[in-house]
Structure 1
């Protein structure tokens, strides 16, 4: 019998759901997070763009890095900054310019390859082929909003 996929719809349910997928309070992937950040910065350079590490990205990746979180039966959010789509650096730099803040990629989604980004104020944005979206501030709000489909077009945050 196929069990329907459970997705948390509140912050209270989120921690248990995250624990089911390998996260725990105090989790830290250590040097692996730093290596992933360095790899993504190098990838930007190879695409002709600059990317600076953000402390918020580093903190997020140390705690949540390399988790694979099922968003739907066909889509998984992979918290790895090295994923994305071919030649995505230019689009990320353009969105950062529109927002007036630096962004750093911290994950991607399978299936369509959208990129999850964080800014220096722990605001999360999602760059998808249908456009850029704001997902919330902080990991909890971002994940609950992504899982429940609550998104706002990022243009509301442009400078």
Structure 2
């Protein structure tokens, strides 16, 4: 963590949106899955496009990208979930509370309990009680975007997860 912090500080990433984006830009596992997928793609498909007179760019846009939609959507979902759930980068690199991502706000509310009077209620005996249901509702709100996106790419996700990882 210390080298990560020092590198990020030396590049001027403190209190910027780039502190959340750049450290997660390349994931080695996802890169290996993509490489395995593209190396398993038949060369004959690309050659048939070139025989038909397609340029390299047209082969890419009309043949390679449509064939690789499952793996692209799968890796996209992996990145989406990883970046959406990342609060550690923000915890280390962002000091301005106005720039905190939702996951760090949820962490502060649930784990640390920095909500003040919002999460407290008083019973008839005068004891203060933290409203657990409000904590769980906030956690559900944090999960909602991923839960909404997943059903739309589920069929591609199942194909793409196996295509790039298993060769046979």
| TM bucket normalised to smaller | under 0.3
Q: What's the TM-score once normalised by structure 2's chain length?
A: 0.21
Structure of larger gyration radius: 2
Structure having greater relative contact order (Cα 8 Å, sep ≥ 6): 2
**Whose helix fraction is larger, Structure 1's or Structure 2's?**
2
**Whose strand fraction is larger, Structure 1's or Structure 2's?**
1
Q: What's the TM-score once normalised by structure 1's chain length?
A: 0.22
